Chains A and B, each alone.
Chain A
Amino acid sequence: GENVEQHPSTLSVQEGDSAVIKCTYSDSASNYFPWYKQELGKGPQLIIDIRSNVGEKKDQRIAVTLNKTAKHFSLHITETQPEDSAVYFCAAFTGGFKTIFGAGTRLFVKA
C-alpha cells in the first residue's frame, strides 16, 4: 500500500544552523506534498507544500525540494530559531481524497 518514510526521527541543531528532513514516498501517482509543523498539544499546521510539476519552492527560511524520479522530497530550514522546535510531518497526497503522513521528525533547536 501507499507509504511515506521520513528521516530522521529526531534532529537536534544549534540555533542558526540549518535543518534538513527527508522523505520518500511509494506511490508514483502522488502529486502533492505538504509539510506540517505540530507544536505540543496542537494540530498539524501547514507550513509549505510542493506539487509534482515543481522541483523546488521557497518561503523565507523554509524550502522544499522534490525529486520525482527518485520519489524523494525534503524540507530545509535555514537559520533555525528556538521557536522552530516542533514535530514536522511530511505527507503525500495520493490522489482521490487520502493524504499519507510520514512518522514525523522531532526537531530541537538549542539556543
Chain B
Amino acid sequence: EPEVTQTPSHQVTQMGQEVILRCVPISNHLYFYWYRQILGQKVEFLVSFYNNEISEKSEIFDDQFSVERPDGSNFTLKIRSTKLEDSAMYFCASGTGQETQYFGPGTRLLVL
C-alpha cells in the first residue's frame, strides 16, 4: 500500500539556522499539506498546496516558512531562520481530494 514518506525522521538545529523538511507524497495525489504538532498538543494546520501554489495557510505559516514542489515527487517545507518555538513534530499529508488526507510518519525538529 502506498505511503507518504518523510525525511529526515529527526533533525536537530541551532536557532537561526535554516532547515528543509522533505516529503514524498503518494504518487497520484494532487493535494499536499504540512501540519505541526508541538509535544503533547493537537495537530495544527500550517499550509495546503494545490496546482503548484499555496491554496491556504494558517497564521502560524509566516514569512519564515515556505513550501515548494521542486519536482514531480518531492514536497518540501523550509523554515528560514528557526526559533526555539519551532521545535515540534512536522507532518506532511497528501490526498486525491481536499478532504481525505494521508499522513506521513513525521519529522521531529529540535531547535537548540
Binding site for B on A (CB under 8 A): 32, 34, 36, 41-46, 49, 89, 91, 93, 96-104
Bound form: Cα–Cα A25–B91 in Å = 23
Task: Determine chain B's interface SS by DSSP, over half rule.
Answer: strand
Find the B residue at minimum CB distance from A6.
B42
Find the B residue at minimum CB distance from A93.
B99
Q: Residues of A contacting B98 with CB < 8 Å?
A: 93, 96-97
What is the CB-to-nearest-CB distance from A17 to chain B, in angstroms, rounded to a whole number? 26
- Contact in complex: A96, B55 (CB < 8 Å): yes
Size of the chain B interface, CB-CB below 8 angstroms: 24
What is the CB-to-nearest-CB distance from A91 to chain B, in angstroms, rounded to a whole number? 8
| Given A97-B98, A99-B101, A103-B41, A43-B106 contact (CB < 8 Å) | yes
Bound form: Cα–Cα A32–B101 in Å = 12
Q: Residues of B contacting A49 with CB < 8 Å?
A: 99-100
- Contact in complex: A101, B43 (CB < 8 Å): yes
Bound form: Cα–Cα A79–B31 in Å = 36
Find the A residue at minimum CB distance from B6.
A43
Find the B residue at minimum CB distance from A1.
B59
Find the B residue at minimum CB distance from A99.
B45
Bound form: Cα–Cα A103–B43 in Å = 8
Q: Residues of B contacting A98 with CB < 8 Å?
A: 45, 48, 56, 58
